[in-house]
Chain A
């Protein structure tokens, strides 16, 4: 399953760090961050259902904040 989220982050390098952090999160197959449009495209692992995504995205945000305390993901 693929979903797109709006994100908030100040610098391009921080956006790259968010991408790394998101990719290291369990349940995420691939995450890509587009700093120019402030969007994150997430592909969840197979078998992940709609109801689980929110929980996974919470972990993603938590992991991202370890790198960039100011960042925000809308989900």
Chain B
């Protein structure tokens, strides 16, 4: 029972239990003479509430009259003076139980959430002679070779120098997509090494590694406070004074009115008691704790799904997303060219790719890389006699004593070869050998498998407008937009054009909704590196594929760890759920408190009900807040 409690909490719990026993014996002691009852009552009160009384006295010295300790002391001492011993002790007892529960529950949730997010590796291993030596990752300089055994987390970002294995990225992305690594592969910290030992040369310090950055980001998210939190903080500051003044009015005005105007007995005791119940409800703790807790739980839950949210304010904005603007390359498409078809080749496809790959052997252009990848064999540079690049149009090479032309239509014409026109969408690479046309290769940047579904999911989740902005050519942009079902597309844009368009869209919405309270939010989704200015400018900037890209983590408000565009809709759903919980807590807590205030003003509320409005509501709000952590079913 004491497990997981701090010393202070254990002490409080023991005091509460003693207090509870004394309180119950007070019930049995009703037959006993008054002085005995009073003694039991005061002992119980002292055991349970001495620290509250002490704090109240100290804070009065500092001029803190609206301090909840002070108000609690006034309420309980007042009840005892009025002869309501039970109530006096009871209120103090339950106030302490409430404080205890709050401290315990918040401590637990804090631990739960941080544990859930804890992808921090404990140690790193370095091979020294035949032995593995355990080292604090913080002390490993860049360039050290570390050993990661099967089943361990990679502690620091680096490059594999020895060994082959499969990595589990689930801790970072929320999906257990295995990733194959071999010497030369870049690996990031936080992944779990699944199938074989690896030796990794570190490329970063521990503090700069992905895992440290992510943890820092989520831990600091609480500093970016949402409007709801600011509202509650402001509300809490005025709530207590208002209730205290209300209590004063209830205690003084009605008895005077009864005496002076109605000629009735003032019934001071009754009205003062009603005022005391006011004071019990005057603590704003339920509100103040449940809102940041809801956001913290929501952000923690989202990070388990591979969605990093940099602050409660972004979570709040995200829930109001009505417009989503995408980048194309790397966001909706894979950002890597792939060979999709080979047409009119007189030789077999593999042979054609072999020729093209050899001709493009030394080029770093993405198309050349794609051709080399598509040709699965190794390139034998001895077969290449000469290579001549024709600036931006293609290459004329001599391979195996044959002249091979690989390039676009213009190059073909230049070389006086008649090619075949192609209707396929994408980039067409023509090939000719010794003056004869050898067909063409169709290359495309493919859509990500979930992109189409992602756009549909956005529309199902209340997004009214989806727009695609791209630097690519118009035909390619149209084609991709058609496949995605996006009608609004603008192409041939430079990064500053994207900023301008996004700014215009936001200004237009603002104009349209002038006077409206809930401004629609525009989210921009980009790949984080060349889109940094737009990511920063949009209401909410969402960066894709942060695995390994520091720039994305810096620039965006929300980071999707695994390139999956379907996560945009999931992030919106998580934010909606979290905001629903926040609203429930605000409305529920304020509602119940106001209701009980009214009931006690008209004499219909007991002290027990007031305790419920204080402690009970807080417990309910904390439990409700913890629901925000569960995002799996979304």
Cβ of A3 to closest chain B Cβ, rounded Å: 13
Interface size class of A (residues with CB under 8 A): 10 to 19
- A70: nearest chain-B partner, CB-CB: B55
Cβ of A14 to closest chain B Cβ, rounded Å: 9
A10 within 8 A of B: yes
Asked if B288 contacts A12 (CB within 8 A), the reply is yes
Q: Enumerate chain A residues within 8 angstroms of B288, measured Cβ to Cβ.
A: 11-13, 16
- A10: nearest chain-B partner, CB-CB: B103
A34 to B295, CA, bound (A): 12
The interface-forming segment of B56-64, B408-416, B494-502, B586-594 is B56-64
Q: Enumerate chain B residues within 8 angstroms of A69, measured Cβ to Cβ.
A: 55, 58-59
Q: Enumerate chain A residues within 8 angstroms of B599, measured Cβ to Cβ.
A: none
Question: Which of B68, B106, B223, B225 makes the CB contact (< 8 A) with A13?
Answer: B68
- B63: nearest chain-A partner, CB-CB: A66
Residue among B64, B106, B219, B222 with the highest chain A CB neighbour number at 10 A: B222
- A63: nearest chain-B partner, CB-CB: B62
Q: Enumerate chain B residues within 8 angstroms of A13, measured Cβ to Cβ.
A: 68, 236, 283-285, 288-289
Cβ of B322 to closest chain A Cβ, rounded Å: 29
Cβ of B312 to closest chain A Cβ, rounded Å: 10
B296 within 8 A of A: yes
A67 to B60, CA, bound (A): 10
| Residues from 19 to 74 in B contacting A, C-beta threshold 8 Å | 55, 58-59, 62, 64, 67-68
Interface size class of B (residues with CB under 8 A): 20 to 34
| Residues from 540 to 565 in B contacting A, C-beta threshold 8 Å | none
A67 to B220, CA, bound (A): 25
Known: A16-B233, A36-B292. A10 touches B99 (CB 8 A): yes
B102 within 8 A of A: yes
Cβ of A20 to closest chain B Cβ, rounded Å: 9
Asked if A12 contacts B292 (CB within 8 A), the reply is yes
Q: Enumerate chain B residues within 8 angstroms of A16, measured Cβ to Cβ.
A: 233, 236, 288
| Residues from 20 to 60 in A contacting B, C-beta threshold 8 Å | 32, 34-39, 41
Question: Which of A12, A38, A39, A67 makes the CB contact (< 8 A) with B285?
Answer: A12
Asked if B285 contacts A36 (CB within 8 A), the reply is no
Q: Enumerate chain A residues within 8 angstroms of B110, measured Cβ to Cβ.
A: 36-38
B293 within 8 A of A: yes
Known: A34-B222, A36-B110. A11 touches B285 (CB 8 A): yes
A35 to B99, CA, bound (A): 15
A10 to B102, CA, bound (A): 8
A39 to B110, CA, bound (A): 12
Q: Enumerate chain A residues within 8 angstroms of B236, measured Cβ to Cβ.
A: 13, 16
| Residues of A near any B CB (own CB < 8 A) | 10-13, 16, 32, 34-39, 41, 66-67, 69-70
